Structure 1
Amino acid sequence: MNTKNSEKFNAERLTRVIGEYPTDGMYSRPGPFLLASAGIHGNEPSGILALRRVFEKLITNKPFLKGKLIGVTGNMAALKQGVRLIDKDLNRVCTPEFADRLIAGEIAGFQEGSEFHDLATIVESLENNKKQEEFLFMDLHTTSSMTPPYISVNRKKENFDFAKKMPLPVVKGIEKFIPGHFDHFLTLKGHTGFTMEAGQHDDPKSVDFHEAAIWVVLVDNGMLDKSVIDYSYYYNLLKDSSPTQDNFEVTYRLNLEEGSEFVMEAGFENFSEVKKGQLLAKLDGENILADSDSRVFLPLYQKQGSDGFFIVMPAD
């Protein structure tokens, strides 16, 4: 994988559990679990690098933490090859029903099913932990196009309220169009959290933004005292990264069938404003035009993927 991040990312170090803190009761106080998942797509190592930074600082400085931070790796096989997926998109197969069957002993029959089995087993273990007071999560991603950081969240009120604590734009409602993502799985299991997209896959700043988000979530949810870190630095790093802190809702998704020829018009970023009738992409040689004045979301600039782009509109 020939990217800037890959100079630092060592796939040989990969483990399913990136880290846990605290590992004993000496620096622990009762509180929630925060599950931070990263690398659900194998071409997105940024969150793993950020979690390694955070755990290194926690282990070195040994602050008290209310609850526990757990970092987990998603698609290990794809990460080792530097590709988005091996057989299927892991972020489309994560459902409670499939998890129940896998945990009961069903053999998935494809690589991402095996990856999800391991993740679902970890989630079940945390759910069965008697010390659990609350189960929070953040799923760390990057995108194929240049983008300011933002939060994607399911429409559940608790998730939206949790996400709005972050000084970033929030996009809700994507689960209507792509069920089966890991965030949706955790939400359906009754837990509270969001997905964070930190920037473009190869941009080193994505790692900085992911790290900042982890620290801000720990502090804003009462798990870590803000005096332990330079909280203002991390908070302002996120706040200053985006031209807007507005909220949006997904209203449209362009689905790509297997084998289709899709070319996104150059120059679009997340939240790029478009006018009705503007050329957005070409699909199997046909022009795809904007239906209305709106904003483009997650434009696809990579070969793998079934989401051509989304359209978002302002939301309360």
Structure 2
Amino acid sequence: MKTNSEILDKENLTRIIGEYPREPSNQTSGPYLLVSGGIHGNETSGVLAIQRVFRKLQEDKPSLKGKIVGIAGNIVALKKGVRLIDKDLNRVCTLANEERLKAQQSLDFHEASEFNELIKIVEKLENEEFNSAFHFMDLHTTSSTTAPYISVNLRERSFDFAKQMPLPVVKGIEKYIPGHFDHYQTLKGHTGFTMEAGQHDDPKSVDYHEAAIWIILVNTGMLEKSAIPYDNYYKMLENASPTNDNFEVIYRQEIGEDHYFRMDPGYANFTKINQGQRLATLDGETIVSRSKGRVFLPLYQNQGSDGFFIVKQA
């Protein structure tokens, strides 16, 4: 069986995966939904899910209020099948970098050009006349096996929006890792979340991402519930996670560029841990949990600056 990365048609990948409706003459006023995938180049599930959704929209041609736009994030990294080229795109999406790029300052890393393209897309949608509300979904996967969940910034509007989904919601990660595309859009005044659907190459991750897009299209009032098998999508996500509780990030294990980190085997998202429990090694030194809680985003890949997080129930 091919992996998600092998399924993706990298040669013909473009920034704009799809727009629906395509023609302004077919568009009515309503919410806009910007769905992004592949902000990390080794995470192809979101791109594949977006492609599925647009194929179905173009085939069935349902009536839609507003507009949905699907985009690919780090194009060069996606085509090479790597997480990043020079810097993590999901750490450089800041208002300060936006200001530098608009002032035509040179930023000496590849992801600056990728971010500049994303800025142009966001601003174009902000200025379109049919736009009555701007929502976003940023689709990701993880290096370790995990049940799907949602990550959201500490903004009540986005938190309430995320809680419409039958999945656990984790808030507050921007305190530890600012500069992700989700955080940038929140600072621009838009409402939305990041969804982690599972392990990078698990085919179920694509199914979960696709289900989430359809659910949000209905929940925002953009699409009639009768246009899709809504209950099937909802139950798919509801059955995919062991909990639908809400959590808040309380700790991040940072990894420096020259450090060797190794997560102990067997940890998955939301694994319960006790204070003093061994979790990993850093440069050969044992790392134990500083508090009781649950492991979040344990790192089981070579690239990345976040070893793991700890969350507590919110």
State how far apart, in whole Å, the 2-side matches of 1:126 and 1:161 are.
23
2:226 aligned partner: 227
The 10-residue stretch of structure 1 (17-26 or 66-75) with the greater mean CA deviation from structure 2: 17-26
1:131 aligned partner: 130
How many Å apart are 1:105 and its aligned residue?
A: 2.2
Question: Do the aligned partners of 2:43 and 2:200 also contact (CA within 8 Å) in 1?
Answer: yes
1:246 aligned partner: 245
Q: What amino acid is aligned across from residue 241 of structure 1 in structure 2?
A: A
Q: What amino acid is aligned across from residue 298 of structure 2 in structure 1?
A: P
Question: Do the aligned partners of 1:103 and 1:121 also contact (CA within 8 Å) in 2?
Answer: no
1:102 aligned partner: 101
State how far apart, in whole Å, the 1-side matches of 2:13 and 2:76 are.
10
Superposed, 1:161-180 pairs within 5 Å as 161-180=160-179
Q: What amino acid is aligned across from residue 75 of structure 1 in structure 2?
A: N
Q: What amino acid is aligned across from residue 194 of structure 1 in structure 2?
A: F
How many Å apart are 1:233 and its aligned residue?
A: 0.6
Question: Do the aligned partners of 2:5 and 2:43 also contact (CA within 8 Å) in 1?
Answer: no
Question: Do the aligned partners of 1:34 and 1:137 also contact (CA within 8 Å) in 2?
Answer: yes
2:143 aligned partner: 144
How many Å apart are 1:3 and its aligned residue?
A: 6.0
Identity rate of aligned residues, in percent?
A: 63
Superposed, 1:34-53 pairs within 5 Å as 34-53=33-52
How many Å apart are 1:126 and its aligned residue?
A: 1.1
TM-score, with length taken from structure 2: 0.98
1:280 aligned partner: 279
1:218 aligned partner: 217
5+ long unaligned stretches in structure 1: none
1:8 aligned partner: 7
2:22 aligned partner: 23
Q: SS in structure 2 opposite 1:277?
A: coil
How many Å apart are 1:110 and its aligned residue?
A: 1.2
Q: What amino acid is aligned across from residue 94 of structure 2 in structure 1?
A: T
1:113 aligned partner: 112
State how far apart, in whole Å, the 1-side matches of 2:196 and 2:2 are.
18
Question: Do the aligned partners of 1:31 and 1:66 also contact (CA within 8 Å) in 2?
Answer: yes
State how far apart, in whole Å, the 1-side matches of 2:6 and 2:173 are.
33
Post-superposition CA distance 1:154-197 (Å, at most 9, x none): 01000000000000000000000000000000000000000000
Q: SS in structure 2 opposite 1:133?
A: strand
State how far apart, in whole Å, the 2-side matches of 1:172 and 1:3 are.
34
How many Å apart are 1:11 and its aligned residue?
A: 0.6
Q: SS in structure 2 opposite 1:134?
A: strand
State how far apart, in whole Å, the 1-side matches of 2:295 and 2:12 are.
36
Post-superposition CA distance 1:117-163 (Å, at most 9, x none): 00011111111222211110000000000000000000100000000
TM-score, with length taken from structure 1: 0.97
Question: Do the aligned partners of 1:40 and 1:90 also contact (CA within 8 Å) in 2?
Answer: yes
How many Å apart are 1:27 and its aligned residue?
A: 4.4
1:155 aligned partner: 154
1:54 aligned partner: 53
Post-superposition CA distance 1:208-261 (Å, at most 9, x none): 000000000000110000111000110100000000000000000001000101
State how far apart, in whole Å, the 2-side matches of 1:130 and 1:31 are.
10
State how far apart, in whole Å, the 1-side matches of 2:184 and 2:64 are.
26
State how far apart, in whole Å, the 1-side matches of 2:63 and 2:272 are.
45
State how far apart, in whole Å, the 2-side matches of 1:124 and 1:228 are.
30
State how far apart, in whole Å, the 1-side matches of 2:163 and 2:26 are.
29
5+ long unaligned stretches in structure 2: none
Change (3 A) 1:240 1:85: same
Count of aligned pairs: 314
State how far apart, in whole Å, the 2-side matches of 1:292 and 1:133 are.
44
How many Å apart are 1:10 and its aligned residue?
A: 1.2
